Amino acid sequence: MNGCQMKLFDLKVREQYPTLGQSYTRSHAHCDKFLVQCSDSELMIVELYYGYKKRFIRDSHVRDIGCKRIELYKVNLQDQVCQRMESLPEDCAIFLSYPENGFFYKIPREDLNSGLVRGNTVYFSERNDKRLYAYDVKERSVSVSLPCPNMGIDYYEPQWIQLPLHSWTSADVPQPEVTIDSKQIMLPSGSSSARGGWNDVPTDLLSDIQSCLFGADRCYFRLACKAWKSSFSNSNCESDLQLGKVQRNHRFPILMHIGNNNELVKFFDPITNSTSTLPLPSLKATEPIIRCSKHGWLLISQGSSGHQQLFFLNPFTNERIDLPKVRFLQDGISFSSPPTSSDCMVICYAVFLAYVTLYSIRRGNYSWAYSSAEKKGIHFKSSYSNPVYHQGLFYIMGMNGNLCIHDPGPRRSTKFMSLPRRPCASIRRGHLLESRGKLLSVFTGPVGRFLRVFELKQTTMAWKELHNLEDTMLFLSSTSLLSATSSGVEISGLGNKVFLDRFSGRDGIFYSLATRKFHTFWSGHNSSDWSDTKEYTYSTWIEPNLEKHNEKELQWLTW
């Protein structure tokens, strides 16, 4: 290798702002790193963070959790420093391939509005997976699609290639007949105009066309003529409504999403399919990490890995309650009651090989209480889900479906249960909640291949699968699992559904236990998995809470 030189650089990461909760998100996540060449003199490092540490779970199961976050770093070889980047240029995208390589792509100006390639986006695929994933850096969302469903089995490590540019002309593009399910649209022979023919389109063909339309396109379809509007009988085509202010009688949780601009948050109402934006100055100059959502309050962390600052935030009233700083690595965190109540208690836990550690603090206390418990031979691995407060006890669910029960009473005790046993084949996405005095669990398979709900029968300590929730509605995200009831609501058909933090276009997605499929209220989306959907990774469900509190109630050290 004549003329070649090799140098070893010890790069240091320079943050643009203090990172938030890095001890949690990095220590409990598997990270894949890619080196990308932007130009002859510029390099970038792209980090993909998945749900769990690779040393805890086999690699294929790590990816069952999905990519939750992507970080970008610009490499300065002269100063041997990695500078963190908040975003990519709006006309640039990155394409990643395994093993750990990729390329930087500057989108031609004429292709920016085509929708084929989006700017400020990282595209990647997975081993043994036909799907294409796209991470929107600005939105902090992950879209999944299946562009080649009939691909063969030899796709272990798909690679991106950049073809030479070619100036396409109309002659290069074939012009097939317009055909939908073997039905053709034909104009009368010798007709000089298509006017007057719209009303004569067969109704079954209109139905086929409608099934291919989503969102706003379905609204425009109705406006073509009266006949088309009347054929569109089972659709509600309201455009996005600005909520303005959340109503005090709002009964159901809404989805809160924090984009790359931390000062602005979006709220999505799955019932009305409406979105509103609200400024939150208290989040400015920080990168908030939402840990938990309950009782209309968010529990948020910030700070370095050494000492983390935790605080409660009501995004509707912009009220904040700061907790004493704590130094720990937590797998999950939760609280028992609203932080303004005198009996509020916060608990977090971390599971190790032979024992579990717990930190807890009650309202009015200055410091966190520490305790630990040995597993004593019981196989208990962390599922990284938040604890649930139920009948005076905190329940922590393990990866195998069994439980760890913590009594926060004066004598503080923790015990591990070998029961209940694993309720389904894959519980990599397990969540626990209390609903109407019962403990429920929700499990989802890889890419949403299944969604199953179970109830804990405490007499036998076994999970019993529920096939009908009746009027119960569940709201599921990575940081929250809430429930509500549709009884007494004028709108019918809301119960027996699990609402997700996923979207098809601008429409929220829910899972129906009746059909065992994913649907939307406002479009014809109907799927057996999460293909062609988008997940907001920095989002949580929250119950609207407009109650105001005095200064004393907002002080943690008073009760």
| Cis previous bond, 315, omega within 30 | no
Sheet with 539-542, strands from edge to edge, namely 274-279, 264-269, 254-258, 539-542
9, with CB counted inside 10 A (0-12, 13-18, 19+), is exposed
Across 145-154, 274-283, 284-293, least confident range: 145-154
Using CA atoms, how far apart are residues 68 and 46, in angstroms rounded to an integer? 14
Using CA atoms, how far apart are residues 264 and 284, in angstroms rounded to an integer? 9
pLDDT at 240 over 80: no
Alpha helices (H) in 66-215, listed in sequence order: 203-211
As a dihedral over the C-alpha atoms of residue 454, residue 456, residue 461, residue 463, rounded to 10 degrees, the angle is 0
Question: Which amino acid, residue 199?
Answer: N
Higher pLDDT, 457 or 230: 457
Taking the alpha carbons at both ends of the chain, their separation in whole angstroms is 73
- By DSSP bridging, strand 81-85 and strand 12-14 are parallel
Torsion sign across C-alpha atoms 221, 225, 229, 231: negative
Higher pLDDT, 330 or 515: 515
Task: Specify the pLDDT at position 278.
Answer: 84
* pLDDT single digits (tens) 479-525: 899 999 998 777 778 999 999 999 998 899 999 999 999 999 877 78
Beta strands in 496-538 (DSSP E): 497-504, 507-512, 517-519, 526-527, 533-536
Task: Specify the pLDDT at position 306.
Answer: 56
- Provide the CA 159 distance to its chain's centre, in angstroms: 26
* pLDDT single digits (tens) 277-291: 888 877 765 677 889
Percent of the residues in the chain that have a pLDDT greater than 70, as a whole number: 73
